[in-house]
Amino acid sequence: MGNALVGPAVPGWTPREAPGRTPMIGRFCRLEPLDGERHAAQLHEANRLDRDGRNMTYLFTEPFETLEAYRKWVDEVSAKDDPLFFAIVDANGRAVGIASFMRIDRNHGVIEIGHLNFSPLLQRTAASTEAIFLMLSRAFDELGYRRCEWKCDSLNAASRAAALRFGFTFEGIFRQAIVYKGRNRDTAWYSIVDSEWPARRAAFERWLAPSNFDAKGQQRERLQALITPGPSSSRAP
């Protein structure tokens, strides 16, 4: 190699295991492998509270008009291993959102959290934050992945803000990356890498602790204030 610069060694690296179809259990919610019989009806009802279909704007599907159509879609995607879908079930036992592990690259230890559809019952709740924490913990703590990605339409301001709030670092824009629903998508890329995860985990755990919520369930400290920014976080436009 002569004097060529190379990246640091990764001694003893072996491919990671694929994420399993086992629940992830927290205090505010649990994530269960998506199942049409168990979850489709509750999810469809929760999604119908999104009256104008805004949640589906940046997803690859349109709003489902009937339970039958939604159940068919759930049955199709829940049979796949990548993306691997989970239902987010709140403390009352209601399925109120979905999320998936996707673009799972076991050889290089890279995994993405994507296809998030949080119904109005889940948005802006502690359960929504805990769901992301549980997925990150599975990727890094349980499975030993080196990198977790978050990608979204560059015009999706809510998703981009969420990525930063959850401690992902902005990496740049892939221009004209995808055509979906007959329109262009420039894709914004974010990531957390394994060296950053211990500090991110501590911030999530501090935010999720009972002491961080008052008698009305309102947060005392903001999650983003607890997270030390990554090296490129401030570059997001």
Q: How far apart are CA 22 and CA 33, in angstroms?
A: 7
131, 142 in Cβ contact below 8 A?
no
Name the token pair of 134. Answer: 């549980």
Q: What local confidence, expressed as pLDDT, does residue 75 receive?
A: 97
Q: Are 147 and 191 in contact (CB under 8 A)?
A: yes
Tell me what pLDDT residue 233 has. 44
**pLDDT at residue 1 in the model:** 55
Query: How would DSSP label each residue in the chain?
Result: -TT---PPP-TT--PPPPPPS--EE-SSEEEEE--HHHHHHHHHHHHTT-TT-GGGTTSSSPPPSSHHHHHHHHHHHHT-SSSEEEEEEETTS-EEEEEEEEEEETTTTEEEEEEEEE-TTTTTSHHHHHHHHHHHHIIIIIT--SEEEEEEETT-HHHHHHHHHTTPEEEEEEEEEEEETTEEEEEEEEEEETTTHHHHHHHHHHHHSGGGB-TTS-BSS-HHHHSPP-TTGGG--
pLDDT of residue 3: 81
For strands 147-153 and 110-118, give the pairing. parallel
Q: Does domain 24-235 have CATH number 3.30.390.50?
A: no
Nearest residue to 48 (alpha-carbon basis) of 64, 68, 61: 64
**Cβ-based neighbour number of residue 106 at 10 Å:** 16
Instruction: Count how many residues are written for the chain.
Output: 237
Cis bond before residue 19 (omega within 30° of 0): no
Q: Per-residue pLDDT for the chain (237 aa), expressed as one digit of tens each?
A: 568 999 999 999 999 999 999 999 999 999 999 999 999 999 999 999 999 889 999 999 999 999 999 999 999 999 999 999 999 999 999 999 999 999 999 999 999 999 999 999 999 999 999 999 999 999 999 999 999 999 999 999 999 999 999 999 999 999 999 999 999 999 999 999 999 999 999 999 999 999 999 998 899 999 999 987 555 444 444
Task: Tell me the pTM.
Answer: 0.93
Q: What are the domain boundaries of the chain? A: 24-235
Which residue's structure tokens are 């990605």? 149
pLDDT at 7: 93
Give me the pLDDT at residue 237, please.
Answer: 40
